[in-house]
Structure 1
Amino acid sequence: MITLVRSELHRMATVRSTWLSVAIVGALGLLFGVFDAAAWQLLAGVGTFGLAVMHVGQHYQHRTAVLLHLAQPNRTVTLVGHLVAAVVVALVFMTLSGATVLLDGDIREFRDAAAVVPLMAVFAAANAAIFRRPTWLFLGYGGWFIFVEGLAGRLDAPLPFSAYLAAGGGDRSSLLVFAGWTGVSVIGALFAVRRDLVGD
């Protein structure tokens, strides 16, 4: 497990598109944190979602999932390794991009983000293991957020991204709701990782 997590972190650190994305979104986070801690929290969640989806989804896009599963036949272990690596990257990303939030003295906002951002990393990585197509996942959840959670639910329904936003604002019941959505995603991913890779 430790070898797998170390390998995944090494891959993320050496793939140019990944570390470039971390650098750009991290710089935006530093800028947002100067003006508004809530805007930084939103960017931390969106950035974490994007990084985790790309991290897992690239294995299926570039067909490296086959080699990964040959090296580690237990697909549950592979999934857990992805989830742990996504959480580690999310915490590093959140800490670096939130430096200006901490310097401004917004400790509560940073603490609330630290409680929910790791859940977002697990949620995103699990969804990427289920759907395996990052572009479809981004488009699908973009439409879901705008039309279902935004227009229909008015960001107040107990749905994933609404719960993330409320939990980032310190609402503990919303944190539990988002943890529930994350748990459902992980359960789905545990079944999805056993699917055949030929069709991907």
Structure 2
Amino acid sequence: MSDVLLLTADEAEALTGIGNPILAGQELLRKGIRTKWVIVKMGAKGSILISMSSISCAPAFKVNVVDTVGCGDSFVAAIAFGFIHKMSMVNTLAIANAVGAATAMGCGAGRNVATLEQVTKLMRASNLNEDDKFWNELLSENLDAQEITFLSKTVINGTNKQLKRVSLQKVVSELLPKLESARLEGIVPS
């Protein structure tokens, strides 16, 4: 009955018996009555967001992990922000991955979660964990989607059949004004 279902790759596999997190997400989406998005977190590999018509993939940001306490909650908060503000799926994943990664760079939760400044700096650095072998294997299966969007640091925006590559810098240029506006409105803390 949920609009958004968010789980880890292990949880998606446990619920469906399907090892590929995209295929598992599609199965969960089909079973949902109102579900619009299924998001699967894959730790240091990144995350995927599946809707009825598309799949968005975002590799994780490479960071020096200090503490993972609060990372999942930070990720979820960013997903909620993207969903509520009707951001594109790939932009939502990019900000969620950045907020989760920036939180991992600090110690503990509460007041130590990522700041807007840390998230912005991390996104501008464009240090994505682009494991081509992992993503190619994941995307090589027969996926049921009209469009697949993949966030990349090195690719100029472009499309190859159903795979649409979007540069992280394009996403950053779209996100930062929205985040700054949200900060000024008091929605997002500094």
- TM-score normalized by the length of structure 1: 0.30
Give the strand-richer structure, 1 or 2: 2
- TM-score normalized by the length of structure 2: 0.31
Q: Which has the higher contact order (CA 8 A, sep 6+)?
A: 1
Of structures 1 and 2, the larger Rg is shown by 1
